[in-house]
Structure 1
Amino acid sequence: METGPINEGLQAAVEVLMEDFIVERRSDTDTFREILNNEKTIRRFVTENFGYQLKIDSDQAKLEKVPYYAREWMGIKEFRDEIDYMFLMSILAFLEKKQPEEGFLLSDIIEETKQFLYNIQLVDWKKRQDRKSFVNAIQYVTNLNLVYIRDGEIESFEESEDGEVLYFTTSLIRYMFRNFSKPIEQIESIEAFLMDGLDTGNPHHTLMRKLYFEPVVFFNELSEQEREFIARQRNYEIIKKAIEVHTGFELERSLKCIYLIKKERKRHLKQHPHYNNESYIVTQVAKELSDRLSVMQEKPLELWVLSDQEFEDVLQKAKRKNELAWPNTLRQWSFIEYKHMVIQYAREWKLAEYNDITWEITIYPTFIRTIGEYHEELKNYIAMESGGNE
């Protein structure tokens, strides 16, 4: 078990490798230097704990990481439709054949896309919406720095199918594509894609992949092997120490779940609570939930279940008490929009589960672990502006 002072450079390097697709020397010199300085330690950490591979050359570093589950929040936020992802796959298939600094025209990649999607997806290139989806996909690839524009503007293609652009690939093209144990066309499901290269009989690796890429892991989500592994105090202490030393996260365990926390909030990390309005609002709802649950029948080893009406009462109370301090855009939300946001957020962070059939909401203990209130001066102002009525 590793001891000694915390290596902040090591933690920063692991954090960026876990969060980013690739680390370039020229765009993030400090992090790249820390990766090189701690290369052996990082390799040992990711190999022993996740079964991941670290690739490094003189200009870039990439951690080939795959989560255990595919979750909705892992999608590309710039994409809105399934066809956006289809276009992305066709673009990547085209780029896989290219060498670094090789040029090609937009019309070339469109022709390749037509063949790639033939008999898979009907595309009407005369429709602006379909062209817009294609533009979304190729702009995403450009933002990843896999290609760059030498001449022309991609926005012109959104306006007219006759628009032309000259692209060139970058050296990152060599690092885009993951190696599989067999031809990709033989991988027939998302599950098979995620499990490729994973030793599913190694509970250390499977547990760590779940733990690091899930907001919380409930014990009923673990396999028997994983439950037996984590139940051994020595194993628990080993992974707890490894996480704290290499990542700066802390491992916590309750009667029903295990999860990672980072007490220091960072804007570039997706954490709960985060520095956004939705997160603040959810913590305010958590405060009202905490008050409501405190007077309900105690069920220390169970979950709380609220009816739709009970949950809406909590939402209404949180809204009345806090909305005067919300940004104007959120104050203009309808109650349905507000409720949908809270439910969606709670689902993504595994704070609660909403039953779309019974309309009941199951509250996990993690929901009320972090509660939010405005400071006293602001609360007094809200009370005065609202006439003292909640």
Structure 2
Amino acid sequence: MDEQNFEFDEETKECVHALFENFWISRTMSLEMYVKIRERETILRKYFEDTFRWRLQINKELVKLEKVPVVAETWMGISAFRERLDYVLFCCLMSFLESKLPGERFLLSTLCDELLLLLNEIQPDTLKWTEQAHRRSFIRVLKYAETLKILTVEEGNVFDFGADEEQEVLFVITALYPYFLRRTAKEIKAYTHFEEFLQEESLNDYHRLYRHIFTSPLVHRSELTLGEKFWLDNVQRRIGETIVDTTNFELEVYREAALLTSSSPISHETFPDAKGISMAVLHLAQVVHGKVSETHEWATDVQGRLLLANAQFREGVHETKLRFGYGWSKEIQTYDLDTLVREVLNLLKTWKLAEESEDSVCLFAPLVRMVGQYPIDYQNKIQAEEVS
């Protein structure tokens, strides 16, 4: 497939970045970026269509890039939601709003009554507003809808509903609501499994590869089709150049994995970030690097992976805490070893840097090749404080 060389200036790359990072960009909330994207509509539409087969929706209210992945992954859930009920209630909220018009007002009590009827008709006793846990779940849903500007609160406070089911709130439906759901080939009721949403598009391996790279923190070679592997093996340099020319990312390819990195500030989630547990993971990488490349206590396989028994992984985390824990945040320093091991492993799995089985942990090549060290002046400062 011919890969067109788009002439992207820095502002166009800024638009691409904004579309990647945001669910949508509304005219009322981000007018400057909205205008920039509209001015570059032709080149942006062509870029996303030719590269990803993604639809760029542009109208008088917003711009929205429909970033459909190749496969659904755990981290793609709504971060504000904690329980299955949150998603159930959000779907019910969307169903309730479907019969409403932008600008229409409604009361929280009306919404609660409608949802109670809807859910209990499907499965009796699923929802009880007398239970505080159910009200808290619904508060998370309503706050998420507010964050997206699907709804705005005209009067009252949503959080008061958590303490008292009789609290009233007046909502207004915004003009953004009709654009939340993407268009599908058939009625939603006709789908029997969520994977059908992903499979209804006709993608070739070139588009699948780009989607894989841009919608996953790390792509393992085992996840790719033969066609995707062909593109990655034979056109890697050209794909990497295109990514640099059109985005703020760079493509890194290892023997068994590929991922995007960036030297530019990214406003959304990255690894590492400023959280203390990220620092602990980087220091663990330093310990692992030493045991693999210096003391040779541990050995990677031909694919660059490091397979550790649970006891070995725990030992590595413990050594990391002893060597580097003095510079961690107060919260992380107070973790007992079991908690620290669990938090470190959870972060590694979230970023697909590790895989856990019943009796072992597999660390993948990108982590094994990382190191995390304190600056020399910081180490000297800590040592001086200990002496004094």
Normalized against structure 1, the TM-score is what? 0.91
* 1:290-301 equivalent positions in 2, closer than 5 A: 290-294=289-293, 295=296, 296-297=298-299, 299-301=301-303
2:24–2:62 Cα contact (<8 Å) kept: yes
- 8 Å Cα contact 2:254-2:366 kept in structure 1: no
Residue 374 of structure 2 corresponds to which residue in structure 1?
A: 374
What letter corresponds to residue 213 of structure 2 in structure 1? L
1:54 alignment partner AA? L
Of residues 185, 191, 201, the one that matches 2:189 is 185
Tell me, what secondary structure is at the counterpart of 1:278? helix
After superposition, where does 1:164-243 map in structure 2 within 5 Å? 164-196=168-200, 198-200=201-203, 202-233=204-235, 236-243=236-243
328 and 230 in structure 1: CA distance in 2 versus 1, 3 angstrom threshold: closer
Q: TM-score, normalised by structure 2?
A: 0.92
Q: Distance in 2 between matches of 1:8 and 1:188?
A: 43
Indicate if the aligned counterparts of 2:61 and 2:176 stay in contact, CA closer than 8 A.
no
Residues 221-277 of structure 1, C-alpha deviations (whole Å, 9 max, x = no match): 1112222333333xx3443333222212112222222221112342x1322222222
- 1:339 match: secondary structure: helix
In the alignment, the residues of structure 2 paired with residue 350 and residue 298 of structure 1 have an alpha-carbon distance, to the nearest angstrom, of: 17
Aligned residues: 380
The 1:371–1:264 alpha-carbon spacing in structure 2 relative to 1, beyond 3 Å, is farther
Instruction: Note the alpha carbon deviations across 1:321-364, whole angstroms, 9 max, x for none.
Output: 22222121111111111111110111111111121x11x11111
Is it true that 1:135 corresponds to 2:139 in the alignment?
yes
The alpha-carbon distance between structure 1 residues 246 and 47, as it changes in their structure 2 partners (threshold 3 A), is: same
Write the deviation string for residues 95-116 of structure 1: whole angstroms up to 9, x where unpaired. Answer: 1222111111112211221233
Name whichever of 219-228 and 142-151 sits farther off: 219-228
Alignment of structure 1 residues 25-104 onto 2, 5 Å: 25-104=27-106
Q: CA RMSD in A?
A: 2.0
Q: Which amino acid counterpart does residue 175 of structure 2 have in structure 1?
A: S
% identical aligned pairs: 26
Inter-CA distance 378–237: structure 2 relative to 1 (3 Å threshold): closer
The equivalent residue for 2:276 is 277
Structure 1 gap ranges (5+): none
Higher mean C-alpha deviation, range 21-30 or range 127-136 = 21-30
Deviations 1:159-206 (A, max 9, x none): 22212111111110121121110110111112112333x214x11222
Shift of 1:370: 2.8
* SS of 2:63 mapped into structure 1: strand
SS at match of 1:109: helix
Report the Cα distance in structure 2 between the residues aligned to 1:162 and 1:301, rounded to whole angstroms.
60
